[in-house]
A and B are shown apart, each in its own frame.
Chain A
Amino acid sequence: NAGVMQNPRHLVRRRGQEARLRCSPMKGHSHVYWYRQLPEEGLKFMVYLQKENIIDESGMPKERFSAEFPKEGPSILRIQQVVRGDSAAYFCASSPNYGGVSYEQYFGPGTRLTVT
């Protein structure tokens, strides 16, 4: 019973390059959440997606960041023209239903992005 999978686990990009982070939710889960953990800071919500829909992207930086969760395949968090400040751990979580008050979220191992 595979958990949430994220790849790559580690990603190194030079400033100005693009970073693509992938997340496969747990089997049967159709709700995906992305969080970011900057060095020495807590986890912050970025975006909530359902299949083919962005429900809430209020935590995403306005520029360079985008997310999708297509009908088929993993969810993708895309960062264009990366800068050093994007270096962080990016975690994906999933839940089986609308992630309301009583539902837990299951997290992946994260992708650690380093921008050089």
Chain B
Amino acid sequence: DAKTTQPNSMESNEEEPVHLPCNHSTISGTDYIHWYRQLPSQGPEYVIHGLTSNVNNRMASLAIAEDRKSSTLILHRATLRDAAVYYCILKGSGGSNYKLTFGKGTLLTVNP
């Protein structure tokens, strides 16, 4: 699986937008970009995924660079409940593409 690189930690203020970056320079043409988050003492939670076009859902937006070598998860108005570790994961078209390979992710701290 192609690797992703994320900052170890980021900090935000409540009710401000948050942009969480992810670099995936070795992404292949059929790799989907998935984002999950894990709140303290909870299981991971699916956030959003996309292939080429930007995606929006009720939780967040995903902006994918034109060359697909990077993407950004956007939380439009951070709340205290958004404090979590955010994981950017590539899912490829290989034989075991059902596996989620979690890296260290980005620990997001939201200040009141």
List chain A positions with a Cβ less than 8 A from chain B: 4, 31, 33, 35, 42-45, 48, 55-56, 58-59, 91, 93, 95, 98-102, 104-110
Between-chain CB contacts (< 8 Å), 13 pairs: A4-B43, A35-B102, A42-B103, A45-B101, A48-B98, A55-B98, A93-B43, A99-B97, A101-B32, A101-B91, A101-B92, A105-B100, A110-B42
A-B pair count, CB < 8 Å, reads 65
User: Are B32 and A107 closer than 8 Å at their CB atoms?
Assistant: no
Taking each of A33, A43, A48, which has the highest tally of chain B beta carbons within 10 Å of its own beta carbon?
Answer: A43
Contacts of B49 in A (CB 8 A): 102, 104
Number of interface residues of B (CB under 8 A): 25
Contacts of B99 in A (CB 8 A): 33, 45, 48, 56, 59
Give the dominant DSSP class at B's interface: loop
- Bound complex: CA of A33 vs CA of B34, how far in Å? 17
Residue from B32, B46, B102 within 8 A of A42 (CB atoms): B102
Which chain A residue has the least Cβ–Cβ distance from B31? A101
